[in-house]
Amino acid sequence: MNKRPLRDAGANLQIVPISKEFIPSCSKIVAETELWRHYGIDYDRAFSMFSTAFESGEHIFVAVLGGDVVGFVWIVPRGMFGRSGYIKLIGVAPQMRGHGIGGALLSFAENELSKHDKDVFLLVSHFNSSAIRFYKKMGYVEVGRLPDYAVKGITEILMWKRLTGRDLS
């Protein structure tokens, strides 16, 4: 597939709160992503997770380009240690990777979290080297490792970024 740089379509990318109609598309992104198979998350499980989160009013946002959902980010304000933001999940449709959508979603999430949090944390699988490079490029640093945390045999790398110099305590 020819990759179209996001800057060519940037004005058309919208990041909006999830709605019920977006749940199937977000679930499809998860189902089409090899990474989540390691965690036993298929389309049905993803659909259930997104539906429950939507009904609970959790903070999930979707990236929409040309009417299609091309990514999502799930954030939890004060979700880390009760004082820092947490990015629970972030995903980009496989055919849209490399277009800057992940960066746009991450920047959006950081902006949302910075309204109440001065730091943000996320977990990344030890074998996901492209994501580790991406997060480091975006200013995250590794602060710990959690072996067998979510799934036996997978080490989660805990990454952290300071969002603001403001005192939000």
Indicate whether 7 pLDDT > 60: no
**What is the pTM assigned to this prediction?**
0.89
Identity of the residue numbered 144: G
The number of folded domains in the chain is: 1
Within-domain flag for 163 = no
- On average, the pLDDT of the chain sits at 91
Rounded CA separation 27/51 (Å): 10
Within-domain flag for 148 = no
The confidence band for 5, taking pLDDT boundaries of 50, 70 and 90, is very low
Within-domain flag for 17 = yes
Cα 15 to the center of its chain, rounded Å: 12
Summarised one tens digit per residue, pLDDT across range 109-119 is 999 999 999 99
Range 128-134 average pLDDT = 95
Tell me the residue range of the domain where 112 lies. 6-118
Within-domain flag for 147 = no
Indicate whether 72 pLDDT > 50: yes
Within-domain flag for 164 = no
pLDDT at 105: 97
The confidence band for 128, taking pLDDT boundaries of 50, 70 and 90, is very high
pLDDT at 164: 74
Higher pLDDT, 140 or 35: 140
Within-domain flag for 158 = no
Within-domain flag for 48 = yes
Within-domain flag for 111 = yes
Range 86-93 average pLDDT = 97
3-state SS, the chain, equals CCCCCHHHHHHHCEEEECCHHHHHHHHHHHHCCHHHHCCCCCHHHHHHHHHHHHHHCCEEEEEEECCEEEEEEEEEEEEECCCEEEEEEEEECHHHCCCCHHHHHHHHHHHHHCCCCCEEEEEEECCCHHHHHHHHHCCCEEEEEEECCCCCCCEEEEEEEECCCCCCC
> Is the separation of the CB atoms in 114 and 75 below 8 Å?
no
Identity of the residue numbered 83: R
pLDDT at 85: 97
Range 14-18 average pLDDT = 97
- CATH number at 91 reads 3.40.630.30
> Is the separation of the CB atoms in 105 and 116 below 8 Å?
no
